C-alpha cells in the first residue's frame, strides 16, 4: 500500500539558516510526490511536485525538494529560512498506477523559524 512518513513532528531552525523537512515514501511503482504548506487557519497550499525528470524540483517561496529513489525520500529544503516560513508542512504521494488524483498525506511537520 502507498504511504508517506514524516519522521519529525517539529523542526526548529533559526532565521537565515538552511532548513530541511524530511519525507520518505512507499509505493509500488514510480511515485508522484508533493509538498503542501498550511498556514494557521488556512487550507493546504501546493508548494511543489515531482513527477519525473530532474531529481531537484523547485517550488513556491524559494522551496525545493530532492527526490532520491534509492533512499525513497523526498526532503523539502530551503537555503535560508524566514520567520514567515513557520507553518505546517505535509508530504503527499500519488501512485500513478492507480490512475487517480487521490493523495496520501503524511502526518505533517511543524516548522518553527526563530528570529
Site of grid cell 533559526: 14
Give the length of the chain: 115
Determine whether 106 is exposed, middle or buried from the number of CB atoms within 10 Å of its CB (0-12, 13-18, 19+).
Answer: buried
Number of residues that bind other proteins (CB under 8 A): 20
Cβ 22 to other proteins shortest distance, Å = 17
Stretch that binds other proteins, among 11-19, 28-36, 61-69, 72-80 (CB under 8 A): 28-36
Handedness of CA 58, 24, 94, 87 (dihedral sign): negative
| Rounded CA separation 33/41 (Å) | 25
Residues pairing with 78 in the sheet: 19
44/113 with CB nearer other proteins: 44
Cβ 96 to other proteins shortest distance, Å = 9
Q: Is 45 in the site for other proteins (CB under 8 A)?
A: yes
Answer yes or no: are the C-beta atoms of 38 and 53 closer than 8 Å: no
Cβ 18 to other proteins shortest distance, Å = 26
- Residues numbered 73 to 92 that lie near other proteins (CB under 8 A) are 90
69/102 with CB nearer other proteins: 102
Sites of contact with other proteins (CB under 8 A): 32, 34, 36, 41-46, 49, 51, 90, 94, 100-103, 105, 107-108
Amino acid at each position: 500500500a502507498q504511504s508517506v512518513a514524516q519522521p519529525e513532528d517539529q523542526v526548529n531552525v533559526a532565521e537565515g539558516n538552511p532548513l530541511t523537512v524530511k519525507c520518505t515514501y512507499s509505493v509500488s511503482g514510480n511515485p508522484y510526490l508533493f509538498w503542501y504548506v498550511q498556514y494557521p487557519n488556512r487550507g493546504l497550499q501546493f508548494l511543489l511536485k515531482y513527477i519525473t525528470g530532474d531529481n531537484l524540483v523547485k517550488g513556491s517561496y524559494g522551496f525545493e525538494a530532492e527526490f532520491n529513489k534509492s533512499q525513497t525520500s523526498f526532503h523539502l529544503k530551503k537555503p535560508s529560512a524566514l520567520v514567515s516560513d513557520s507553518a505546517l508542512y505535509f508530504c503527499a504521494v500519488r501512485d500513478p498506477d492507480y490512475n487517480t488524483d487521490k493523495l496520501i498525506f503524511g502526518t505533517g511537520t511543524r516548522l518553527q523559524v526563530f528570529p
